[in-house]
Structure 1
Amino acid sequence: MYSLLSFCLILCLSLSASAAVIDRRIAVPSGYVAPPYYPTPHGGWTADWSVSYHKASLLVSQMTLAEKTNVTAGSGIFMGRCVGNTGSALRLGIPQLCLQDGPLGIRNADHNTAFPPGITVGATFDKDLMRARGVALGEEFRGKGINVHLGPSVGPLGRKPRGGRNWEGFGADPVLQAFGGSLTIEGVQSVGVIATVKHLIANEQEMYSRMKNIFQPEISSNVDDRTLHELYLWPFAESVRSGVGALMISYNAVNGSACSQNSYLMNNLLKDELGFQGFVMSDWLAQISGVASALAGLDMSMPGDINEVPLIGSSYWMYELSRSVLNGSVPVDRLNDMATRILASWYQFGQDRNYPTPNFDTNTQDASGPLYPGALFSPSGVVNQFVDVRATHAEIARAVARDAITLLKNTIATLPLAKNTTLKVFGTDAEKNPDGINSCSDQGCNKGTLGMGWGSGSARYPYLDSPIDGLKARGAKYQFFNTDSFPSNSNPNPGDVALVFISADSGENYITVDGNPGDRTNAGLNAWHNGDKLVQDVAAKYSNVIVVVHTVGPILMESWIDLPSVNAVLNAHLPGQEAGEALMQVLFGEVSPSGHLPYTIPKSEADYPDTVSLVGFEVGQPQDTFTEGLYIDYRHFNQQNIKPRFAFGHGLSYTTFSFSNASITAVTPLTSLPPTRPIKGPTPSYNTSIPPASEAYWPDNFSRIWRYLYSWLDKNDADVAAKIGNSSTSAKYPYPDGCSTDQKPGPVAGGAQGGNPALFDVAYNLSITVTNAGNISGKAVSQLYVQFPVGISFDTPIIQLRDFAKTITLAPGQSQTLQMRVTRKDLSVWDVVQQNWIIPDVGGDYGIWIGEASDSLSVRCGTSPLGCVM
């Protein structure tokens, strides 16, 4: 997505390129296919959406052609208060829907909370905090009158450690992503806001993936069927199972077919196999076709413009969709389902009753301004009412930032600090951006304390509590050197503790920061601003050094981690607005650190498989083939027996914990194949005849706004289109291979939201007692990994995360019994031949490992025979 300022350059480039786009596609490697799947399955066949679909169908049956097409697309980029604004059908009480970024807070708004982003939330390993943050996000979005929250992000998964938008998601594991995403969705939607899970799918880098341009089409992510199901689709399945109301399709292609018109992804995997009942929207300007994208399952075009030359009043849909229905190229049945899905989501979350209208404007911070900033001439009015929606959400933001802080190293009990410790503080990351905390559009710079990455997933800070602010508030004894070069006048004293702040940033590709076009290309996985050298120089002069890292993902630490004076390292991730107080509570021991790494930190970037490197320029369509399959992050390190610097899930505490009294109980008897899926329920039925051309005529005496997108046609255009559609002799649209209008019963792996409901039956319950064996209060995380039996015919990673739980704050000697579970799906693999989840060895001994990190698993429970060994 774009800001108004950055959009000007993109528009100029698009205008110059539009007449000469090179669309030469390179054949994807053998075996990577996106077979056609038609038609789009009707929504409404699950019981938990049936009431909403019934209400929606009553409305849709009364709508004209132009009203239906109007609700399926945006009114144009910068054509309203929100980043996305649909058309309306006011005659029937259907308002414009406001769609707004982003996953960590309301983008470009005021009086909102800048929450820690997903990667920080994942590091908490705390399901309660995940959901609480979701509720708070929902309350703020509703308070601003936003219908659709454009979050959470569970794609990219983090396959590529340099990937620009990894920080928006919850970590480099599908189960951690799944819990983070689904619990956020539950929280957001609990207050009536429609959540949007994104981005489907496999958009693992920013460069060359956003859209086609003059030189090349969008990148093709080539993923085999099993890997797609077991890694990248897994968190989307859990999001659908949570009842998510909307989904955003990604920019890139998958197996050679652009996601925005990939019928295999949208029709087959999402709407049939996963039983998704909501609506699918394009990412901003990701739609590249009209009829093809409609047939493939796209329900909403955002922001409505064509991607080659936006902001001139042209659209693939709107009036063109009206034309396509009249001339018979888009079946009426497909348009009806599109409109029904959108309105069903509106009803599902109660937005038809007393829902607030937008009271802010993402395009300006002024009280008054143009109502349609993208228009050449726009009426003006009040656009911002400055409604404060924060309530007590700062407490939740602070709790997330604090409980995510991950203690990586702590020799000689350096931490916690005594209150009277004399501190020398180094690094510009310790203090706010001197130009202003919101001086860079969409946080597109790395100056001062890094609280979030850049791009559409960012938010404006209402304030930023920096680490220096935190030290001031405590009356700490410190001297701050606001530089990233070691100062000659720091005057080390024997009792000084040096506190060094370093950072690493990334973001979205429409902004380049310090030579990094979204992905981390310039500094690689090293700290920015010569942070490694700063640590080395400080460590050469001071005998007691603590390093605090604010980072979007893994950074290399080998140049300084083992220096004798580097005694403690804290990964504070991206803390949002509450960077200071959250860190102080941990530094001074008021709270013991309880965060755990949501990714692996390697010793060298060469330790990753070559295939997860960034794909560079290629004439034609760049190919990114996922030949590493299931082996990303800790799965790869375990398979190759490579010891990382810090393993996935690693996190120390100021205290120690013991695990005891582990038990495993069988719950649901298992079979190789799951029970037969439930059949689909009834779906709305409509008249599918081509409507009269008059339903698309422009209203009389209507005042148009130039560049605004409308769904109406001139009378002659509508009449000509209807004549074609009703003619039995006219040439018909060249439909894609496999195109059909006959509804399918659905894949065997489907049956409900998220897939066959039997997949989520609990196979085993596990219980373990965690005791604080130290002398400081703290929280412990219990991580559960599954190891498949030896001798099966499927290659599986050595261990895979399947559940986790976090204790309350335990006083010294206090214990808590944690409950976790393993489902049928957790013990299954995707069989590409049977196209189903199967348990490869029903009677085999699955190892259920429990511990504090992926490389620290002290308890093994077995499924055959049932029992646990400490």
Structure 2
Amino acid sequence: MQSQKVQTCGKHYIGNEQETQRNPTTYPNGTTKQESVSSNIDDRTIHELYLWPFYEGVKAGMASVMCSYNRINGTYACQNSKTLNGILKEELGFQGYVVSDWGGTHSGLDSALAGLDMDMPGAIEWGSDSGNNSYFGNNITMMIQNGSLAESRLDDMVKRILTPYYFFDQENYPTIDLDTAQLSKELYGSDIPSFSHPFNLGNSTDINRDVRGNHKDLIREIGSASAVLLKNTNNTLPLPKDIKRISVFGNDAADVSGGPYDPSNTNGVLSMGGGSGAGRLTHLVAPLEAIKQNNPQALIQYVTDNALLTQQPSETLYTVYPAADACLVFLKSFATEGADRLSFLADDNSTAVVDLVTGSGTCPNTVVILHSAGANLMPWADNENVTAIIAAHLPGEQAGNAIVDVLFGQVNPSGKLPYTIAYNESDYNAPVVNFTNVDNNDPNLWQSNFTEGLLIDYRHFDYNNITPRYEFGFGLSYTNFSISDLQIRSASNGNVSPTPQALNGTIPPPGGNPDLYTVLASVQVTVSNTGDMPGRAVPQIYLGFPDSTNTSSPTPVKVLRGFDRTKILQTSQSVTMSFDLRRMDVSSWDTGRQEWVIPAGEFMVLAGWSSRDLPLRGELQLV
């Protein structure tokens, strides 16, 4: 992104794992009733889990970081000196600027001293002038004048904000495209145009500037590449190109009925999330439309009203005749910024829809496609009439064409699950909670204690020996692959210092101590296409840490440390894949030393296709 002179922003920093009570609630007079939820996370877990992507982002040179709405161990993220000054700017050597999430600032001086560089949107209350009604603004001038804020800190804020602006030559960029009001007249007021209004930049030549380029082709490719094939009994997929009869069911198959922007609570395909994760679609290709275009020779029948299917099943299914060669059931599970999902099941009576279609006697060959932002329970997965399942996630405006490419074999699926799908809700260690005590007047009522530590997702399932329905990293292909010839090479022959080299100076370069990124070992495997169709494989490398690893909290059985997608391999073709293991990859955060430390003893190196399918094993000792 920054290669195109666009600033990146890493967010949300940090521990923003819950949307419920992400902002404080107030009494009618404006005083605080209950503070934002506090994410209470121990030091080791912050470093080894939640801080990890920020290490990588800062090392890569991202321009800014957005602090989150929640509190961290009792202090708001945007005025938390430990996480902003101590960890982000000092430990990680972050040289860019910290910007608040919109309305996430709750103080002026305390936030500035804690490391916040930019207060957004400026005004304390949206829709008002940000000059005198801001935690920063004119108050910064007052802080400088009364000596409560050092001028050097203001200089630091300005340098951090302007450095990426000039580094990326943004003063010479074209005018800004904004889906908002004319900035000279309105500032977040009640008259601000909604997402359904046209762009208005005050210059007619700039309205609706088309910057899409090859987006249509790219998002179609991304959509099909992110689809995960979970089940494919008797090679149901890919469907034959000369298929004669197709029946399509489910309200996720059709065009949206609620307009081009807001995907919530509307009939139609789910292509994106809600809130700030949404956008205006220039056009949307629904699955049903794409299926029709792809199969002009076929009889295509469809019922896309879930309520009709579940309330009048006999009358509705009776109209679908003759029986189809394949039934396609499209389900969805909406998620949005600002709210937590209330169920692990897909929306709109999804289970009943699948049960009715597969139980009608007319659909013994049913393919279920699920558009969802995350993990869902699949109680119908063992249904013998459900012969294939695809987790299609949120594919964007080419949703229909992307799934058709997978269904009919134009694309061989290579997606892998970035989460675990359980058999039961109780298998997860973060169950859906019905919190009923919300009227309590305790301002610190909302506490989220991260007692699971490092044991999230597959790590929890491994540690507690719970069998998942579909494990982390799982995903089928239309062909078969083998993995062999595991080779592990240490760069030091077991003579590595357990701690990184000392820094020359107090503040490290971006990413923290450079020695954390020193390659200490490499892992190599050979991947071969042993099937009868070209395809891509995704080998994965996991590490099991020695028994001597930090005992301050439970250590996962294994952790993912590398994965990559091969080029398209023709039948009988092989490729060698290599993965580097850096010092940080083989270290644990020692809370006593406040340092990354390589544990003594043997690491177990595992290679394979998912967190539960790792046929290759070897050992590595570094210290």
Normalised to the residue count of structure 2, the TM-score between the two structures is 0.90
Q: Deviations over 1:370-408 (max 9, x none)?
A: 742546999994375211101112222111111111000
Q: State the Cα distance separating 1:473 from its structure 2 match.
A: 1.8
Q: Specify which of 323, 326, 331 is matched with residue 150 of structure 2.
A: 331
CA change 1:239–1:446 in 2 (3 A) is farther
Matched, 1:391 2:213: yes
Equivalent in the alignment of 1:772: 529
Q: Deviations over 1:134-187 (max 9, x none)?
A: xxxxxxxxxxxxxxxxxxxxxxxxxxxxxxxxxxxxxxxxxxxxxxxxxxxxxx
Equivalent in the alignment of 1:534: 353
Q: State the Cα distance separating 1:493 from its structure 2 match.
A: 4.2
Equivalent in the alignment of 2:87: 269
What one-letter code is carried by the residue in structure 2 that aligns with 1:266?
L
Q: State the Cα distance separating 1:848 from its structure 2 match.
A: 1.2
Measure the CA separation in 1 of the matches of 2:431 and 2:324.
48
CA change 1:833–1:613 in 2 (3 A) is farther
Measure the CA separation in 1 of the matches of 2:302 and 2:60.
47
Q: Deviations over 1:725-768 (max 9, x none)?
A: xxxxxxxxxxxxxxxxxxxx35xxxx221111111111111111
Matched, 1:632 2:456: yes
Spell out the pairing of 1:324-363 with structure 2 (5 A cutoff). 324-352=143-171, 354-358=172-176, 360-363=177-180
Matched, 1:648 2:476: no
Equivalent in the alignment of 2:409: 589
Matched, 1:678 2:437: no
Matched, 1:860 2:617: yes
Measure the CA separation in 1 of the matches of 2:387 and 2:431.
35
Spell out the pairing of 1:139-178 with structure 2 (5 A cutoff). none
Q: State the Cα distance separating 1:815 from its structure 2 match.
A: 1.0
The range that moved more, 599-608 or 830-839, is 599-608
The higher relative CO (CA closer than 8 Å, separation ≥ 6) is in 1
CA change 1:205–1:192 in 2 (3 A) is same
Measure the CA separation in 2 of the matches of 1:610 and 1:434.
34
Equivalent in the alignment of 1:804: 563
CA change 1:836–1:615 in 2 (3 A) is farther
Q: State the Cα distance separating 1:673 from its structure 2 match.
A: 1.0
CA change 1:444–1:303 in 2 (3 A) is farther
What one-letter code is carried by the residue in structure 2 that aligns with 1:571?
A
Matched, 1:546 2:367: yes
Secondary structure of the 1:765 match is strand
Equivalent in the alignment of 2:102: 284
Equivalent in the alignment of 1:209: 22
Spell out the pairing of 1:333-732 with structure 2 (5 A cutoff). 333-352=152-171, 354-358=172-176, 360-363=177-180, 371-372=185-186, 374=188, 381-382=202-203, 384-421=206-243, 422-438=245-261, 440=262, 443-476=263-296, 477=298, 478-484=300-306, 485=309, 486=313, 487-491=316-320, 493=322, 496-509=325-338, 518-521=339-342, 524-541=343-360, 542-558=363-379, 560-610=380-430, 613=433, 617=438, 618-619=440-441, 620-621=443-444, 622-668=446-492, 670-679=496-505
Measure the CA separation in 1 of the matches of 2:586 and 2:201.
59
What one-letter code is carried by the residue in structure 1 that aligns with 2:163?
A
Measure the CA separation in 2 of the matches of 1:766 and 1:612.
39
Spell out the pairing of 1:819-830 with structure 2 (5 A cutoff). 819-830=578-589
Q: Deviations over 1:197-224 (max 9, x none)?
A: 1000111111101344332111111000
CA change 1:793–1:339 in 2 (3 A) is closer
Measure the CA separation in 2 of the matches of 1:531 and 1:793.
44
Q: Deviations over 1:328-373 (max 9, x none)?
A: 1111111010001111121222324x22221x33126xxx897425
Q: State the Cα distance separating 1:420 from its structure 2 match.
A: 2.3
Measure the CA separation in 2 of the matches of 1:563 and 1:377.
52
Q: Contact conserved, 2:246 with 2:301, CA < 8 A, in 1?
A: yes
Q: State the Cα distance separating 1:462 from its structure 2 match.
A: 0.8
What one-letter code is carried by the residue in structure 2 that aligns with 1:638?
D
CA change 1:400–1:381 in 2 (3 A) is closer
Equivalent in the alignment of 2:195: none
Q: Contact conserved, 2:364 with 2:385, CA < 8 A, in 1?
A: yes
Measure the CA separation in 2 of the matches of 1:429 and 1:265.
42
CA change 1:638–1:377 in 2 (3 A) is closer
CA change 1:506–1:296 in 2 (3 A) is same
Secondary structure of the 1:806 match is coil
Q: State the Cα distance separating 1:495 from its structure 2 match.
A: 5.0
Measure the CA separation in 2 of the matches of 1:374 and 1:792.
51
What one-letter code is carried by the residue in structure 2 that aligns with 1:853?
S
Secondary structure of the 1:837 match is strand
What one-letter code is carried by the residue in structure 2 that aligns with 1:813?
S
Equivalent in the alignment of 2:597: 838
Secondary structure of the 1:846 match is strand
Secondary structure of the 1:533 match is helix
Measure the CA separation in 1 of the matches of 2:432 and 2:320.
45
Any gaps of 5 or more consecutive residues in structure 1? Answer: 1-187, 510-517, 680-744
Q: State the Cα distance separating 1:667 from its structure 2 match.
A: 2.1
Matched, 1:189 2:13: no
Any gaps of 5 or more consecutive residues in structure 2? Answer: 28-32, 193-199
Q: Deviations over 1:508-533 (max 9, x none)?
A: 22xxxxxxxx2112xx1111000111
Matched, 1:814 2:564: no
Measure the CA separation in 1 of the matches of 2:496 and 2:588.
14
Equivalent in the alignment of 1:693: none
Pairs aligned (count): 588
Equivalent in the alignment of 2:56: 238
Normalised to the residue count of structure 1, the TM-score between the two structures is 0.65
What one-letter code is carried by the residue in structure 2 that aligns with 1:228?
I
Q: Contact conserved, 1:611 with 1:626, CA < 8 A, in 2?
A: no
Measure the CA separation in 2 of the matches of 1:796 and 1:836.
17
Spell out the pairing of 1:63-78 with structure 2 (5 A cutoff). none
What one-letter code is carried by the residue in structure 2 that aligns with 1:830?
W
Measure the CA separation in 1 of the matches of 2:235 and 2:141.
69
Secondary structure of the 2:485 match is strand
What one-letter code is carried by the residue in structure 2 that aligns with 1:363?
T
Measure the CA separation in 2 of the matches of 1:826 and 1:376.
50
Equivalent in the alignment of 2:197: none
Secondary structure of the 1:501 match is strand
Spell out the pairing of 1:92-131 with structure 2 (5 A cutoff). none
Q: Contact conserved, 2:201 with 2:207, CA < 8 A, in 1?
A: no
Equivalent in the alignment of 1:760: 517
Measure the CA separation in 2 of the matches of 1:865 and 1:826.
12
Measure the CA separation in 2 of the matches of 1:572 and 1:342.
39
Q: Contact conserved, 1:805 with 1:819, CA < 8 A, in 2?
A: no
Measure the CA separation in 1 of the matches of 2:170 and 2:187.
27
Measure the CA separation in 2 of the matches of 1:672 and 1:280.
33
CA change 1:377–1:322 in 2 (3 A) is farther
Secondary structure of the 1:769 match is strand
Secondary structure of the 1:409 match is strand
Equivalent in the alignment of 1:785: 542
What one-letter code is carried by the residue in structure 1 that aligns with 2:128?
L
Secondary structure of the 2:397 match is helix
Q: Contact conserved, 2:549 with 2:588, CA < 8 A, in 1?
A: no
The range that moved more, 294-303 or 416-425, is 416-425
Spell out the pairing of 1:25-36 with structure 2 (5 A cutoff). none
Q: Deviations over 1:436-461 (max 9, x none)?
A: 333x3xx4444310011100121111
Q: State the Cα distance separating 1:423 from its structure 2 match.
A: 0.8
What one-letter code is carried by the residue in structure 1 that aligns with 2:573?
Q
Measure the CA separation in 1 of the matches of 2:452 and 2:211.
45
Secondary structure of the 2:275 match is coil
What one-letter code is carried by the residue in structure 1 that aligns with 2:285?
D
Q: Specify which of 32, 40, 48 is matched with residue 222 of structure 1.
A: 40
CA change 1:792–1:235 in 2 (3 A) is closer
Q: State the Cα distance separating 1:434 from its structure 2 match.
A: 2.4
Equivalent in the alignment of 1:849: 606
Measure the CA separation in 2 of the matches of 1:233 and 1:447.
39
Q: Contact conserved, 1:415 with 1:568, CA < 8 A, in 2?
A: yes
What one-letter code is carried by the residue in structure 2 that aligns with 1:500?
V
